[in-house]
Structure 1
Amino acid sequence: MGLIPPILWQCLKQMFKRPFTNLFPAKYTPKSVIEYLERVRRKEVSINPPIAVPENFRGKIGFDVERAREKCTGCGLCARVCPAGAFSIDKEEKRVRIWISRCVFCSQCVDACPAGLLRMTDEFLLAGFDRDAKELIVELRFS
């Protein structure tokens, strides 16, 4: 590997890996989705199955609610290391809010949490029209 620059080595490795993208359900775009689904129902054609979520995938931030209530001290390390500013801590109300719409899924908060409460889940369907939607705000109460 000494003769090949690291970036070129990485490109060569990725050329031979399977992609982590889901294929469109049909090989070619059907003229009518309804007709295509009817053909699927009659088992004339099949749909490409979705790929499995890879191990160590960094999706939506999660935590065990009961354990977090007991162990979280509100130290703020998660907020301090977050490059996107996705955390807000209210010490008076004893609440940590995670704004998933701001998160860049780097998992630095997971590594920084001294209590080991945060984890990256395999949940990735987070698209929406409202950045402040209830589903995109994770709230943690601490004692």
Structure 2
Amino acid sequence: MINKMLFIILKQLFKKPFTNLFPLAHIPDRLSTVIKKAESGELEINPPLPTPENFRGRISYDKNKCIGCRLCIRVCPANAISYVAEEKKIKVHVDRCCFCAQCTEICPVQCLSMSDEFLLASYNRKEQVVTGNNG
């Protein structure tokens, strides 16, 4: 067993990687010259691509619609949803979410939905908690 694993590991060390080094091949030598060319109109910058129709981004939560049934908590594989007993509502921890959308599919009142927001990085962990009507 160990010999077989060792052979596989050694084989993978010398294999060509599957990853594509796309950005490295197209990075200019000097970024400042590219910015100047873009400002003068010599160079056209491609606009960002739109998100696909069924994109699963940051969870949106409409607190007013929520009935507190907790079905979303039961189906969440990442344990990203917790129940706030005082309010009888939920809060979603986006930093734990795996964006599977099971909570949005099971919600009987459709208070949870997936937005097209995908830039989620933050230094503030409180920004990663959705408590209702804040996206």
1:87 equivalent among 72, 81, 86: 81
**More displaced stretch, 117-126 vs 90-99:** 90-99
4+ residue runs over 4 A deviation: none
Q: How far has the Cα of 1:32 moved from its partner?
A: 2.1
Tell me the equivalent position of 1:122. 116
Cα distance in 2, alignment partners of residues 103 and 75 from structure 1: 19
- C-alpha distance after superposition, 1:16-63 (max 9, x if no partner): xxxxxxx86xx8212222221111001111112211111111111113
- Structure 2 unaligned runs (5+)? 1-21
Query: Structure 2-normalised TM-score?
Result: 0.73
Tell me the equivalent position of 1:78. 72
**Aligned-CA RMSD value:** 2.1
Larger Rg: 2
For residues 35-74 of structure 1, the aligned pairs below 5 Å read 35-64=33-62, 68-69=63-64, 71-74=65-68
Q: How far has the Cα of 1:81 moved from its partner?
A: 0.3
Alignment: residue pair count: 111
- Structure 1 unaligned runs (5+)? 1-22
- C-alpha distance after superposition, 1:106-137 (max 9, x if no partner): 1000011111111111111112345x2x3211
Matched-pair identity in %: 44
Tell me the equivalent position of 2:130. 138
- The 8 Å contact of residues 63 and 118 in structure 1, kept in 2 or not, is answered as yes
